[in-house]
Structure 1
Amino acid sequence: MLRGLDITDMLIIDRLELSFQPGLNVLTGETGAGKSILLDSLGFVLGWRGRADLVRQGAAQGEVTAWFDLPEGHPARAVLEEAGLPVDDELILRRVNTADGRKTAWVNDRRCSGEVLRQLSETLVELHGQHDDRGLLNTRGHRAILDAFGGLDDLRSACRAAWSAQGRAAKALAAAEARVAAIREEEDYLRHAVAELDDLSPEPGEEAALDVRRRAMQGAERIRSDVIRAYEILGGQQGAETALGEALRWLDGAAEQAEGTLEAPMAALSRAMVELDEATSGLSTAIEGLSFDPTELEETEERLFAIRALARKHDVLPDDLAGFADTLRGKLAALDAGAADVAALRSDLKVARAAYTTAAADLTAARCEAATRLDRAVTTELAPLKMERAVFETRITPDTSGPDGTDAVAFTVATNPGAPAGPLNKIASGGELSRFLLALKVCLTKDQSGLTMIFDEIDRGVGGATADAVGRRLSAIAAEGQVLVVTHSPQVAALGAHHWRVEKHVNDGMTTSTVVPLPQPDRVDEIARMLSGDTITEEARGAARALLAG
């Protein structure tokens, strides 16, 4: 529970230190005295988002410190442990706001973020402001209120997960269908192109090899006859080889009588015969190499031109035709596989939709059960608030499917017997709204241990016996914990266990606000002021004493 609040240089507060107690703590004072500043300051140290201009005029910075009791098992301990912050029986929060808007926070003397402060605040304080009924009137928030009451976080998380899974499945199916559709648009082209490429079946490097072979055959056609003539001249019946052979035979017969003069010529002719034989053999091989079938040249040219034409058609290099064919085959394979993928993804989407339908149905069933409990609990709370004949009903109707299920939730009331039920904002008056709000908030927070509940003018719009009933309900709630009430109702103020008065003073042109704890005699005068106004009469004091006496 909240034990104390220390405020320095915030708005019209220069320095203020308050100590709070268990039970019902009441803050009263004239309108504009600064009661809301206390709540603004408390919200600031708790990390709540609020007004930006909090620093007192002329001050370099404003500072707020709040300290809380933190018994064993308090949920704030888990937040501290997760954030790596010191955990003790006392929790001290401090936050500074400089004049230029920079904010710095500490938890147990360790720096921390505003987000950690907000997480801690959810376990420490529940604030019900004087305009909270606007949230109660907004049906868009009723579903979240019901879920909070029913403790349906797990079911709602499961529903959100199922909704997300359904969305992912639908997105994956749409993408797959789009891919298949895009490929199907060029299916005819793909199949024709692949068939054409498969029929030609070009290979890397083939175009260059065909070109070399073509040029070789074209050249052979031109020189083969010349090579044959040269071969015939060298090796035919009238060729050089025959002539050289005859010359050697003639010289061989004359060599014995030439006394060695013919040996050198004969040796040269022998060498020439060997060289001539090699030349003749080479020419024979060359003639064989230059031999070709004329139809081969025609076929080579046809294939070479077909490869080049196909490369131009598809705007690729001839050597890339085989790879291009593989690419087109891959697209066709993707088309065939895509159809199977689409079927599988449709099945996945069907499963995801069924899972979401189940999760949403489970959430609807849990909401219906929680609605019954909430209606019963609110009805129980309304009786001591002088609304025992009012009927509070939580209506659940089908709504558009979404991450939080398929339900629309609306709180309806019937304030008089036999009157039709309707929306809060059309049926309930201002005072009735305050009491409905009080009853609903009590139901929502009754299971939260260690929570300080703050009510800012929750009793507005009511008076007399009804205000007394509101005060007694607040007092009963405070008996089990701690409640702070900002009030203008003397009936509520009289039921407080601890009473503070907020005062505003002007000194040397400077306005400041202070908070004064009131002992019993001073409480009489304060409640008398609340009853009668600025002029306190003995009759008002008597009425105040009667209220305090209970």
Structure 2
Amino acid sequence: MLGALEIRDMLIIDRLELSFQPGLNVLTGETGAGKSILLDSLGFVLGWRGRADLVRAGAERGEVVAVFDLAPGHPARAVLDDAGFPDSDELILRRVNTADGRKTAWVNDRRASGEVLRRLSETLVELHGQQDDRGLLDPRGHRDMLDTYGRLGPQRDAVRAAWSARSKARKALEEAEIALEKVRAEEDFLRHAVKELDALDPQPGEEAELDIRRRLMQGAERIREDIARAATLIGSDGAEGAAGDALRWLEGVSDQAEGALDGPVVALGRALVELDEAGRGVERALEAMSFDPLELEQAEERLFAIRALARKHGVLPDDLGTFAGDLREQIAALDAGDADLANLRAALEAAGGAYDTEAGVLNTARHAAAHALDEAVMEELAPLKMERAIFTTAIRPAEPGPTGRDEVTFTVATNPGAPSGPLNKIASGGELSRFLLALKVCLTGTDSGLTMIFDEIDRGVGGATADAVGRRLAQLADGGQVLVVTHSPQVAARGTHHWRVEKRVEDEMTLSTVRAMTGQDRIDEVARMLSGDRVTEEARAAARALMAG
């Protein structure tokens, strides 16, 4: 609900503070007094796109502040959360326009963009007038209005879910077709590569083992001859044999040497043991370095083949096995591709059938809701002196989408037998006002926390019709908030709160002011609207009667 509106230096308003209340808030005044400026200023702080020259002549900047009270669960709270603003029961919007055209906005004292203001405005205010293209006259919103009126949320949710499932199935099929086509383009390469890899069958770690074995065999050719010479010198024909002979000679005479040879005999025995161990080690080395030249050639060929394949496919030698597995999976997918595509096409067909079913259910429900809405609007048109008019909610086929496959348009025929058409194309100004009001009365029960503004929606009607308009505006305001700019005394008489917009001249400058009308002032204002500038007692009596009725 709009609680307060403060305007400074906007057009012909120097400073104005208004406190609005729940119920029907009426703004009256002479033509040109500045009533439209109030709406322009409110639209400015809500981020609506409007006239650019809003700053009062001679002022450096204009400023508008609007204060809204938010009930728990109000849709504006979700917008605040999505935009990163703290939640609050009071929402303060402030927007400044400098004389050079720069605009700056704040939401609860934090800088905000015009887009955030516009998103908030959609949850805060609904403007209706004879030239309104934001609400009831915009066919793009008629389908949503009908669904809300018919409480078709569950059916729409089912259609949206079915559309999402269908879209996912279509995407899966398209991706599979693209992937299969890509694999088919590389089929020859894939099969040749797998055949080549399978023939070589490289194992993890094999490249390193082959490299070590190759280097050992290459090194063995260079050192084996020296090792063989060393083995001869160490063995029985060399040092070991000589040491053995020496040990036997010493042992044969050690008893006669009075112990002088005991130490050398023991040392020589140890030397023989070490020589034997050294000889065995050299022999083992020789055996290890024994290889067939053909083995070296084979190792080199395999090593080079593994490295060549790794370079060819751009992978590490140890990853060739994994790479081969990936290629086999692609070939398997290629071989199973047609079957997979058939399954995906079947899934898409099933998802499409489910969508068609849910869209059909929604279509049936929309037709039922449209029939109920048409009857409700027709009942409202009779008291508005349009009982011969025909209101029809037209439902036509449309391109399938997440909200179904229906196009919804509110159409009217002003007289029996006359062609029907969109509201804003067929109805005249006064007729359009009454159509909009009747439609809004029927749709209002579904609104949530909106402040409704009607800009001279009673233009072109009077008498009993204007009284019916006033009664329906009061009905709309019951339990909510409605602001109406009006020239009709019948409408003004129904207001629970009344303001008069006036012009005054100060220092040769025209300024607009707003006064709250209560008591006798309000009676006089309604009387003025009845009789003109000269207010008579008869007019006052008529005003009292209107306000009492």
> Greater shift after overlay, 119-128 or 34-43?
119-128
- 1:317–1:228 CA distance, 2 compared to 1 (3 A): farther
SS at match of 1:520: helix
Aligned-residue Cα RMSD (Å) equals 5.3
Q: Does 1:436 align with 2:424?
A: no
Q: How far apart, CA to CA, are the structure 2 residues paired with 1:323 and 1:451?
A: 65
- Cα 1:40–1:278 change in 2 (3 A) is same
Unmatched segments (≥5 aa) in structure 1:
69-74, 530-535
What is the aligned partner in structure 2 of residue 307 from structure 1?
A: 303
Q: Does the alignment pair 1:383 with 2:382?
A: yes
Sort the Cα spacing of 1:152 and 1:55 in 2 relative to 1 into closer, same or farther, 3 A.
Answer: farther
Deviation at 1:407, TM superposition (A): 0.9
Counterpart mapping for 1:456-535 below 5 A:
456-460=455-459, 462-463=460-461, 468-479=464-475, 481=478, 483-489=482-488, 492=491, 500-516=499-515, 517=517, 518-529=521-532
How many Å separate the matches in 1 of 2:278 and 2:106? 105
Secondary structure of 1:329's counterpart equals helix
Residue 199 of structure 1 corresponds to 199
Identity %: 49
In structure 2, distance between residues paired with 1:15 and 1:140? 38
Rg: which structure is higher?
A: 1
Alpha-carbon distance change, 322 to 428 in structure 1, aligned in 2, over 3 angstroms: same
State the distance in 2 between where 1:28 and 1:185 align: 77
Asked if structure 1 preserves the Cα contact closer than 8 Å seen for 2:128 and 2:455, the reply is yes
* C-alpha separation in 1, matches of 2:347 and 2:541: 74
CA 1:138–1:125 in structure 2 vs 1: closer, same or farther (change >3 Å)?
closer
**Residue 409 (structure 2) aligns with:** 410
* Residues 454 and 328 (structure 1), Cα distance of their counterparts in 2 relative to 1, 3 Å cut: same
- Distance of 1:163 and 1:356 partners within structure 2: 6
Structure 1 CA distance for aligned equivalents of residues 285 and 312 of structure 2 = 39
Is contact 2:124–2:450 with CA below 8 Å preserved after alignment? Answer: yes
Letter in 2 for 1:140: R
Give the aligned residue type for 2:156: R
Match of 1:325 in 2: 321
In structure 2, C-alpha distance between the alignment counterparts of 1:449 and 1:249, rounded to whole Å: 120
Partner amino acid, structure 2, of 1:103:
A
Q: TM-score, normalised by structure 1?
A: 0.72
8 Å CA contact 2:27, 2:35 repeated in 1: yes
8 Å contact kept, 1:5–1:67: no
What is the letter of the counterpart of residue 429 of structure 1? S
CA distance in 2 between counterparts of 1:549 and 1:329 reads 94
- Alpha-carbon distance in 2 for matches of 1:395, 1:318: 64
**Letter aligned with residue 148 of structure 1:** T
- What does 1:26-425 align with in structure 2 at a 5 Å threshold? 26-43=26-43, 54=54, 56=56, 57-58=58-59, 62-64=63-65, 76-79=71-74, 94-100=92-98, 101-106=103-108, 125-132=125-132, 136-203=136-203, 204=205, 205-212=208-215, 214-215=217-218, 223=225, 285=283, 289=287, 296-315=292-311, 320-336=316-332, 339=336, 349-350=348-349, 352-425=351-424
What one-letter code is carried by the residue in structure 2 that aligns with 1:323? D
1:207, 1:319 within 8 Å by CA — same for their partners in 2?
no
Query: Is the contact between residue 395 and residue 408 of structure 2 (CA under 8 Å) also seen in structure 1?
Result: yes
Give the C-alpha shift of residue 191 in structure 1: 3.5
Q: Distance in 1 between matches of 2:47 and 2:502?
A: 26
Task: Give the aligned residue type for 2:408.
Answer: V
Q: TM-score, normalised by structure 2?
A: 0.72
- Which region of structure 1 is more displaced relative to structure 2, 393-402 or 110-119? 110-119
C-alpha distance in structure 2 between counterparts of 1:318 and 1:120, whole Å: 56
- 1:78 maps to a residue whose letter is G
Write out per-residue CA displacement over residues 226-246 of structure 1, whole angstroms, 9 at most, x where no aligned residue.
9599969x979xx99999999
Indicate the SS of the match to 1:394.
Answer: strand
CA contact (8 A) 1:472 1:495 kept: no
> Is the Cα contact below 8 Å between 1:501 and 1:515 reproduced in 2?
yes
Quote how far apart the aligned CAs of 1:456 are.
0.3
Following TM superposition, by how much is the alpha carbon of 1:287 offset from its aligned partner in structure 2, in angstroms? 10
Contact in 1 for aligned 2:194/2:327 (Cα 8 Å): no
